[in-house]
């Protein structure tokens, strides 16, 4: 965030205070070792009560990877994430296509834009029951889909077997969004692709506009 | 009193089970071609200290629903309690 | 049948028992016997290897901590130090690959943490039997998943390593792991810290269970009733989440300057940690085992003393910091226990409540173990094997066919299947992850980067252990040098068979000699390492496998050179190609022979090459650089092409037969490319450094063109290289 | 005939169970302080086509031993078979 001019404030899981931040990012990592299910235990962390309240009040909340899993577990986002279809952890740069501009991450990004961002997860296969899936698609809640470099969505470019190649979704209100790829690992050109830049820039814009 | 329970958490029918599929895929190479519908879930055993088995069971029920399973994709089942010698 | 005496059942010889009696001036009790047996084991005492390891060069301008502590430490400037160490976890991994490898990662991470350094990178050199066997596939899959399972979860990127295959590893897979960490120099927790009398020994982290006490369990089986075996696990389970909490707690303790000492609990558990802490401080210690948090009830004193339960650390803490230390532990959700205190004198006195259960001089356990000059003998079969030189056999295979075979051989093929299972990005400093010659990790807060590579040359070592180890050092240094970095220092893991067999001991001694000579010549001191013996079954040992972990330093990461070709550059081969196919990939894969002599190694030439590449990198001269190793020139060219998705047209015409020119594994060579406008500058620089250079051709186009021999598409070469491993693993 | 079995694969006693430990550690914060000895294992359901239930069971036994569990660290148990309507 700092690279883009924002300021990060780390929040401790056992606290109950969001320290007045303008946006909440639940980062990746392995909360509680991801034992049981990814995010299953973390979503009961005391700070999550505040995050739920913040989200209900329309505050922008972004979940990345493990953070996405936590938001699904907490019921803030639809669906669930299970083990990759290969059953193996995957760390690789993928392409995702932006499917909706109605999220704090994509407000400033055109639908159809293709971004290069790394994924690194063992449990990133997005699933939902048939009805849920129909609703997610019907209401346009899909924010990102895995795709090829030219934007084609097909099985070959679906790294983990996610239903409908879904890489990220939002809630109905559009203020909570989660995704498996790691935009924060795609900001610094020294380290590789920079597909995360427009997303995090959009989040900053969005958060500032609300102040 | 201590009661030991076993909770079985299974993936909802209709959802794809990558682990089950992998096992099914490995079986023929080992000579077993007659196995179908392999589904992998979780088995969680735990001991609850409670005054009655009913109270203990109610608590396990709640833990299974809220923590041990994710209702979006999983079902659970509780196996009978055994009393554990103190 | 008379029962075997207890000390022998514990693995102590009669002589060793005599020494223990002499030290104590009495009969040791059971607990003491257990303590001596674990501390005087090969694993902890290095009794067979010590005399050889002493010959290694361990000092250099940047070395802050050499061998002897949990990890070596090197000064990298800007007030920062790098701690690094390698270890083997082969035996546990052979039984339960996932957990064996996972706990290996946890263990090596704790070694680095013990120095007060934050782990920033992992590398994993792995050696398996051929993947045509199902068990070897199971081992590889499990080990890789286990390394990822632990490393990914704890948040340390796995940025490099290697995977090689050789038949002797079928029964004995070799699993090495290296960890690299970083700390401000003044925050290091080294043995140089002053420990005060009366300071507390604080054990924190996981509870202690009956883990890894296999060796001394005979004590139990003689006293406990039948059936107790059941509860004595032979395999340990890794707990990366607990490891993560431990890591963060240790970092906070080190940052706040609350520690006089810090040590992980690895082999020989509490016995090792307490006796070494005391011995290092030239003091004694008094501890009470009743304070140790237990995972299973009713552990006996000897079990608590020797348990190898994971995710535990021992801190030495001054009384005024005790409360703060315990509070930090509590904040990270870790149990902590005050075991006892440091005392004057030299005794390690262990109580269980009011009863003294052991009372021994700490140094006798930690420093005064037996030292053996084991007999050495060159194996009788070696001379004939060496004479059988594959270099001048008649080769009937077509060049293209040979090229396909070598490029797709498991040793040479892409290891993407492996390293895609590792998070190599976490922590956000990975400038270059797996896939190139060396990984590059940014030193936070500076423009510097660490260049990291691991290498072993088992096949060369089999044919000539001296050269095998020396080549491993040279290749690791070369890999690091290809990025433009300067090789700085090494750590290592020496994997061998049974040291009680003279031929194994000879292989070991020769390898240490080769490693030492190469390190001296290249100016890369040995800062630490690990010896893993007894890697054999039924008298058949693994090939002598000296694994080298090289640390290099790149002053400005923006100058880093990469492997990949880009179009429109001129390609050069640096170094000299000789008719050397002994022990080469070509000889094994195409000719079906592992024989002959390994290539000659001229360490001055090697060093000249490294200096040349470093200088070229400083000048921003190179478009790419990649060393020639397994598979020789042909593979080096192909890998640069595949990495860049860019073809080339080269001519390797000369006096050498095509298969020598393409596949000889002569040392000290590299393939580099430059902009045409700067070709003469490179040639001049080569002249100045005394490095032979030959212009091979140009980069560009979609094909790999070996003029007059064969050509194939980059996409086809990529497919051969990328698909070999996944295909084999699919069974 | 098709028979459905359930195999429970559990970590051997004495072995550390990090998952169980993490769950146990998280429960008090959710208000459940009376739970101990949480152990997490696997639940595998599968359908075997065989002439008799005995033959099917013997096969499941062998699959459990050879493929579904690693005897070095795990035990297994087979729940009763149910016949599955064809
Ligand atoms: N087990 C592994 N873990 C991580 N990276 C690996 C592993 N095996 C190979 N690699 C990576 O693949 C690349 C090629 O490996 P290798 O052929 O051994 O390189 P070299 O011949 O230059 O020593 C290196 O970047 C290496 O780090
Ligand atoms: Mg190389």
> Tell me: the pLDDT tens digits for A172-200?
999 999 999 999 999 888 888 999 999 99
Residues forming beta bridges with residue C573, ordered by sequence position: C671, C694
Cα-Cα-Cα-Cα dihedral sign, residues C89, C90, C91, C95: positive
Q: How far is CA B51 from CA A6, C499, D33, D34, D35, in A?
A: 54, 61, 14, 11, 13
Closest-CA residue of chain D to B29: D67
Closest-CA residue of chain D to C232: D14
Ligand 1: centre distance to CA C615 (Å):
25
Q: Which of C122, C85, C117, C123 is nearest to C181 (CA)?
A: C117
Q: Does residue D45 belong to the interface with chain A, where contact is any CB pair within 8 Å?
A: no
CATH superfamily of the C60-187+423-521+528-550 domain: PurM-like, N-terminal domain (3.30.1330.10)
Strands C72-77 and C80-88, how do they pair? antiparallel
Yes or no: say if A149 and A95 are a contact pair by the CB < 8 Å rule.
yes
**Exposed/middle/buried for residue C542 (C-beta within 10 Å: 0-12, 13-18, 19+):** buried
- A65-122: pLDDT as tens digits: 999 999 999 999 999 999 999 999 999 999 999 999 999 999 989 999 999 999 999 9
- Stretches where chain C sits below pLDDT 70 are 1-2, 214-234
**Exposed/middle/buried for residue A78 (C-beta within 10 Å: 0-12, 13-18, 19+):** buried
Cα–Cα distance for residue pair C285/C345, rounded to 1 Å: 8
Q: How far is CA C236 from CA C109, C127, C310, C553, in A?
A: 16, 22, 8, 36
Task: Check if C7-40+189-366 and C60-187+423-521+528-550 are the same fold.
Answer: no
Spatial CB neighbours of C617, under 8 Å, sequence gap ≥ 6: C483, C484, C559, C560, C561, C625
Q: Which of C483, C496, C487, C505 is nearest to C603 (CA)?
A: C487
- Return the residue whose CA atom lies nearest to atom 17 of ligand 1: C412
- Give chain A positions within 8 Å (CB) of B21: 85
State which residues have CB under 5 angstroms from ligand 2, the bound ion: C 437, 479, 627
Neighbours of C252 (CB within 10 A): 15
Neighbours of A107 (CB within 10 A): 18
Q: Does residue A44 belong to the interface with chain B, where contact is any CB pair within 8 Å?
A: yes
Q: Does residue C138 belong to the interface with chain A, where contact is any CB pair within 8 Å?
A: no
Q: Which candidate from A88, A91, A184 shows the least CB-CB separation from C423?
A: A91
Cα–Cα distance for residue pair C659/C397, rounded to 1 Å: 10
Q: Does residue B45 belong to the interface with chain A, where contact is any CB pair within 8 Å?
A: no
Cα-Cα-Cα-Cα dihedral sign, residues C517, C519, C521, C523: negative
Q: Which chains touch D (3 or more CB pairs under 8 A)?
A: A, B, C
Which structural domain range is residue D59 located in?
2-84
User: Is C174's C-beta closer than 6 angstroms to any atom of ligand 1?
Assistant: no
Yes or no: say if C143 and C127 are a contact pair by the CB < 8 Å rule.
no
User: Is C639's C-beta closer than 6 angstroms to any atom of ligand 1?
Assistant: no
Cα–Cα distance for residue pair B32/C577, rounded to 1 Å: 53
Residues forming beta bridges with residue C208, ordered by sequence position: C294
CATH number at residue D58: 3.30.1280.10
Question: Which member of A157, A184, A185, A206 is catalytic?
Answer: A184
Which 3 state secondary structure label does DSSP give A133? helix
Which ligand is the nearest neighbour of the Cα of C140? 1
Among the ranges B51-55, C475-479, D4-8, which has the highest mean pLDDT value? C475-479
Q: Which of C530, C588, C195 is nearest to C390 (CA)?
A: C588
CATH class of C562-731: alpha beta
Please tell me the total count of domains within chain B: 1
Task: State how far residue B44 is from chain A, nearest Cα, in angstroms.
Answer: 10
- B1-43: pLDDT as tens digits: 899 999 999 999 888 899 999 999 889 888 899 999 999 999 9
Strands C284-288 and C347-352, how do they pair? parallel
Ligand 1: centre distance to CA D65 (Å):
35
Ligand 1: centre distance to CA C387 (Å):
31
Q: What is the dihedral of CA C394, C400, C405, C406, to 10 degrees?
A: 80
Domain spans of chain A, in order of start: 24-209
Domain spans of chain C, in order of start: 7-40+189-366, 60-187+423-521+528-550, 562-731
Eight-class DSSP state of C199: P
Cα-Cα-Cα-Cα dihedral sign, residues C252, C254, C257, C262: positive
Cα–Cα distance for residue pair D54/C455, rounded to 1 Å: 54
Cα–Cα distance for residue pair C86/C72, rounded to 1 Å: 10
Domain at A24-209, CATH from 3.40.50.850, 3.40.50.720, 1.10.10.10, 3.40.50.880 = 3.40.50.880
Cα–Cα distance for residue pair C597/C582, rounded to 1 Å: 5
Which 3 state secondary structure label does DSSP give C424? coil
Q: Which of C147, C146, C143, C103 is nearest to C122 (CA)?
A: C147
Domain at C7-40+189-366, CATH from 3.90.650.10, 3.30.70.1400, 3.30.70.360, 3.20.20.140 = 3.90.650.10
Spatial CB neighbours of C622, under 8 Å, sequence gap ≥ 6: C484, C561, C613, C616, C672, C673, C674, C682
Q: Which of C357, C355, C325, C354 is nearest to C338 (CA)?
A: C325
Q: Give the CB-side neighbour count of residue C62, counting CA atoms within 13 A.
A: 25
Cα–Cα distance for residue pair C301/C321, rounded to 1 Å: 29
| ipTM attached to this prediction | 0.90
Q: Give the CB-side neighbour count of residue C365, counting CA atoms within 13 A.
A: 37
Using alpha carbons only, what angle is made at residue C419 by residues C562 and C463, rounded to the nearest 5 degrees?
80
Find the helix packing angle between C240-255 and C134-154, rounded to 10°.
40
Q: To which H or E segment does residue C450 belong?
A: strand C449-455
* Chain-chain contact of B63 with D27 (C-beta, under 8 angstroms): yes
From the CA of C162, give the closest atom in ligand 1.
8
Q: Which of C574, C591, C565 is nearest to C393 (CA)?
A: C591
The alpha carbons of chain C give a radius of gyration, in whole angstroms, of 26
* Chain-chain contact of D19 with A33 (C-beta, under 8 angstroms): yes
Per-residue model confidence (pLDDT) at position C216: 61
Residues forming beta bridges with residue B74, ordered by sequence position: B11
Using alpha carbons only, what angle is made at residue A72 by residues A70 and A76, rounded to the nearest 5 degrees?
100
Q: How far is CA C195 from CA B18, C258, C284, C341, C342, in A?
A: 54, 12, 11, 11, 8
Q: Which candidate from D23, D46, D66 shows the least CB-CB separation from B35?
A: D46
Closest-CA residue of chain C to D70: C96
Cα–Cα distance for residue pair A182/C299, rounded to 1 Å: 46
Task: State how far residue B71 is from chain A, nearest Cα, in angstroms.
Answer: 9
Catalytic residue at C626? Answer: no
Q: Is the pLDDT of residue A4 over 90?
A: no
Spatial CB neighbours of A177, under 8 Å, sequence gap ≥ 6: A61, A62, A63, A77, A103, A104, A105, A106, A143, A168, A169, A170, A171
Output the pTM of the full model: 0.93
């Amino acid at each position: 965030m700092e690279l883009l001019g924002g300021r990060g404030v780390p929040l401790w899981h056992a606290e109950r205070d969001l320290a007045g931040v303008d946006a909440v990012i639940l980062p990746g990592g392995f909360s509680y070792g991801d034992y049981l299910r990814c995010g299953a235990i973390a979503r009961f962390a005391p700070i999550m009560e505040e995050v739920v309240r913040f989200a209900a009040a329309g505050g922008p909340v972004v979940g990345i990877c493990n953070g996405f899993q936590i938001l699904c577990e907490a019921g803030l986002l639809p669906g669930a994430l299970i083990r990759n279809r290969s059953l193996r952890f995957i760390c690789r740069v993928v392409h995702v296509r932006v499917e909706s501009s109605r999220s704090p991450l994509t407000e400033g990004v055109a639908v159809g834009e293709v971004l290069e961002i790394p994924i690194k997860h063992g449990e990133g296969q997005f699933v939902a029951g048939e009805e849920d899936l129909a609703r997610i698609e019907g209401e346009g809640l899909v924010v990102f889909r895995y795709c090829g470099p030219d934007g084609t969505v097909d099985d070959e470019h679906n790294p983990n077997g996610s239903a409908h190649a879904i890489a990220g979704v939002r809630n109905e209100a559009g203020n909570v969004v989660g995704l498996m790829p790691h935009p924060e690992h795609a900001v610094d050109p020294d380290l590789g692709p920079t597909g995360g830049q427009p997303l995090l820039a959009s989040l900053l814009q969005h958060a500032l506009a609300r102040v | 009193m201590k009661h030991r329970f076993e909770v079985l958490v299974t993936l909802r029918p209709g959802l794809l089970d990558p682990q089950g599929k992998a096992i099914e895929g490995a079986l023929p190479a080992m000579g077993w071609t007659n196995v179908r519908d392999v589904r992998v879930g979780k088995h969680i055993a735990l001991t609850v200290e409670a005054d009655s088995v009913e109270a203990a069971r109610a608590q396990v029920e709640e833990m299974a629903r809220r923590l041990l399973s994710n209702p979006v994709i999983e079902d659970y089942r509780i196996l009978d309690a055994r009393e554990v010698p103190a | 049948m008379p029962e075997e005496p207890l000390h022998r059942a514990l693995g102590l010889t009669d002589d060793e028992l005599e020494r223990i009696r002499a030290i104590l001036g009495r009969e040791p009790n059971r607990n003491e016997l257990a303590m001596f047996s674990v501390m005087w084991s090969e694993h902890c005492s290095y009794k067979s290897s010590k005399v050889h390891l002493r010959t290694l060069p361990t000092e250099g301008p940047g070395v802050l901590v050499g061998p002897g502590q949990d990890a070596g430490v090197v000064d990298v400037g800007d007030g920062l130090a790098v701690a690094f160490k390698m270890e083997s976890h082969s035996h546990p991994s052979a039984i339960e690959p996932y957990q064996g490898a996972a706990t290996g990662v946890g263990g090596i991470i704790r070694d680095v943490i013990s120095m007060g350094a934050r782990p920033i990178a992992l590398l994993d050199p792995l050696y398996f039997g051929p993947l045509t066997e199902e068990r070897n596939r199971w081992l590889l899959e499990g080990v890789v998943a286990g390394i990822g399972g632990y490393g990914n979860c704890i948040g340390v990127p796995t940025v490099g390593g290697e995977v090689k295959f050789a038949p002797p590893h079928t029964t004995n897979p070799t699993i090495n792991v290296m960890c690299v960490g970083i700390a401000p120099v003044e925050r290091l927790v080294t043995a140089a810290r002053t420990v005060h009398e009366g300071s507390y020994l604080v054990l924190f982290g996981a509870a202690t269970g009956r883990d890894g006490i296999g060796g001394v369990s005979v004590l139990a089986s003689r006293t406990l009733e039948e059936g107790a075996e059941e509860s004595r696990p032979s395999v340990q389970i890794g707990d990366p989440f607990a490891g993560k909490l431990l890591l963060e707690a240790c970092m906070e303790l080190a940052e706040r300057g609350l520690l006089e000492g810090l040590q992980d609990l690895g082999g020989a558990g509490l016995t090792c940690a307490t006796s070494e802490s005391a011995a290092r401080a030239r003091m004694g210690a008094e501890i009470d085992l009743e304070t140790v948090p237990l995972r299973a009830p009713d552990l006996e004193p000897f079990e608590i003393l020797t348990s190898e339960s994971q995710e535990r650390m021992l801190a030495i803490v001054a009384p005024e910091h005790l409360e703060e230390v315990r509070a930090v532990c509590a904040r990270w959700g870790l149990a902590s226990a005050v075991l006892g205190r440091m005392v004057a004198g030299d005794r390690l006195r262990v109580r269980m409540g009011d009863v003294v259960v052991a009372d021994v001089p700490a140094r006798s356990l930690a420093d005064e173990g037996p030292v053996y000059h084991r007999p050495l003998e060159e194996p009788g079969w070696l001379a004939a094997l060496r004479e059988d030189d594959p270099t001048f056999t008649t080769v009937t295979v077509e060049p293209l066919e040979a090229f396909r075979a070598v490029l797709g051989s498991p040793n040479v093929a892409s290891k993407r299947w492996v390293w895609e299972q590792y998070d190599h990005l976490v922590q956000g400093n990975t400038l270059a992850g797996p896939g190139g010659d060396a990984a590059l990790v940014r030193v936070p807060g500076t423009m510097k980067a660490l260049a990291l590579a691991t290498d072993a040359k088992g096949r060369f070592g089999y044919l000539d252990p001296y050269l095998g180890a020396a080549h491993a050092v040279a290749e690791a240094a070369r890999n690091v040098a290809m990025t433009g970095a300067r090789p700085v220092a090494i750590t290592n893991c020496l994997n061998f068979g049974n040291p009680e067999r003279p031929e194994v001991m000879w292989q070991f001694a020769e390898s240490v000699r080769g490693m030492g000579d190469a390190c001296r010549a290249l100016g890369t001191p040995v800062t630490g390492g690990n010896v893993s013996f007894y890697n054999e079954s039924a008298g058949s040992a693994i090939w002598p496998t000296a694994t080298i972990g090289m640390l290099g330093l790149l002053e400005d990461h923006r100058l880093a050179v990469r492997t990949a070709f880009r179009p429109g550059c001129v390609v050069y081969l640096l170094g000299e190609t000789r008719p050397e196919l002994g022990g080469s990939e070509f000889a094994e894969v195409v000719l079906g022979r592992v024989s002959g002599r390994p290539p000659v190694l001229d360490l001055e030439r090697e060093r000249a090459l490294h200096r040349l590449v470093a200088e070229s990198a400083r000048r921003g001269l190179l478009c790419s650089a990649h060393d020639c190793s397994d598979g020789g020139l042909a593979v080096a060219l192909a890998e640069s092409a595949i990495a860049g998705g860019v073809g080339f047209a080269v001519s390797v015409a000369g006096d050498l037969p095509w298969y020598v020119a393409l596949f000889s594994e002569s040392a000290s060579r590299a393939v580099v490319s430059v902009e045409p406008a700067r070709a003469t500058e490179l040639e001049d620089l080569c002249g100045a450094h005394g490095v032979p250079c030959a212009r091979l051709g140009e980069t560009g186009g979609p094909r790999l063109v070996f003029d007059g021999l064969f050509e194939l598409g980059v996409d086809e070469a990529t497919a051969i290289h990328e698909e070999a491993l996944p295909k084999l693993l699919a069974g």
